[in-house]
Amino acid sequence: MPQMNFGGTTEEITTIDEFTLDQAREVLKDETVCVIGYGVQGPAQALNMRDNGVKVIIGQRSGSKSWDKAVNDGWVPGETLFEIEEAAKRGTIIQYLLSDAAQKLQWPVLKECLNEGDALYFSHGFGVVYKDQTGIIPPENVDVVLAAPKGSGTSVRTNFLAGSGINSSYAVYQDYTGRAKERTLAIGIVIGSGYLFPTTFEKEVYSDLTGERGILMGALAGVMEAQYDILRENGHSPSEAFNETVEELTQSLIRLVDQNGMDWMYANCSTTAQRGALDWRPKFKAATLPVFKELYESVKNGTETRITIEANSAPDYQEKLDEELRQIRESEMWQAGKTVRELRPSNR
């Protein structure tokens, strides 16, 4: 595998050029991949594998919305779509892609369905790393592996159909068969990864939970709201505040960062924007660094896990979630966003 240098740190990266699709198919030719759960990651990974010629079956509760969704996607009850226990017993690689809270609840049933030599596959290290809270302790006679796409299930499928792929991390927690790594890399390729980089279950879950609560979702939303509020308090219109806070970022600047990096984006903005960004960047870093330190420690010590499990297990969880999302959706900022999106030329 090629050694890639990232700012002085060397990593072993696996791309589809080194571990080809044909190699992946050869590794998986005698395997039956069982996808447990058809919610967020399940549909994308299952459909990508099916399109890549891998034998895939789905395990889902009949009568559920996810079961109906699977049927609509072409999975056939009794042939490629089964109840969870039946599917798990038929599979040789079991992709455990239920939500973290659901994994905890389903584990006592699933573990009884695992056969010697199976591979138990995760796309998130949550259940295994926080086993003291989830009770997920895999048996010793199976491989335990991970491939974690760095994006939502929607992105995994969309990028696959576009031919671009998505980056994924991979890890081997337990190698019973001696084939755990090649099985993991093969699955990583057939689910549509652009390249795969090694990690551990612990590092994957620590970075993932930090990223979701930080830059990717929590921090991004919080900083946007703060800037929007300041602009509105100083007399700027909703359109102006939203465009300067969100629209220009999502429709212009972040695309420049994606193309060639932050420095390139700076170089392609006005000199006034460059100077201000360079001067204020260290101030924002200094202000948020303590928050990120607090966040990482909360992830590492299991506090975030406890909060997540308790919240997701509450009988009124969905109602509370709907209310929290409603408050965001109906806030002035995101109502302005709805109007701005409708006014984009492509939507008129």
Residue 323 has φ and ψ, to the nearest 5°, of -70, -40
Q: What string of DSSP letters covers 303-321?
A: HHHHHHHHHHHSTTHHHHH
What CA–CA distances, in Å, run from 109 to 86, 106, 139, 175?
Answer: 11, 6, 13, 23
C-alpha to C-alpha distance for 346 and 348, rounded to whole angstroms: 6
C-alpha to C-alpha distance for 153 and 171, rounded to whole angstroms: 19
By DSSP bridging, strand 33-36 and strand 56-59 are parallel
Residue 81 class from Cβ within 10 Å (0-12 exposed, 13-18 middle, 19+ buried)? Answer: buried
Tell which residue, 44, 96, 303, has the closest CA to residue 201: 96
Q: Are the beta carbons of 46 and 38 closer than 8 angstroms?
A: yes
Q: Is 220 helix (H, G, I), strand (E, B) or coil?
A: helix
Q: Is 250 helix (H, G, I), strand (E, B) or coil?
A: helix
Q: Verify whether residue 236 is a known catalytic residue.
A: no
C-alpha to C-alpha distance for 234 and 249, rounded to whole angstroms: 21
Residue with tokens 């984009």, as numbered in its chain: 344
Q: Of 124, 183, 213, 232, which residue is the catalytic one? A: 124
Active site residues: 124
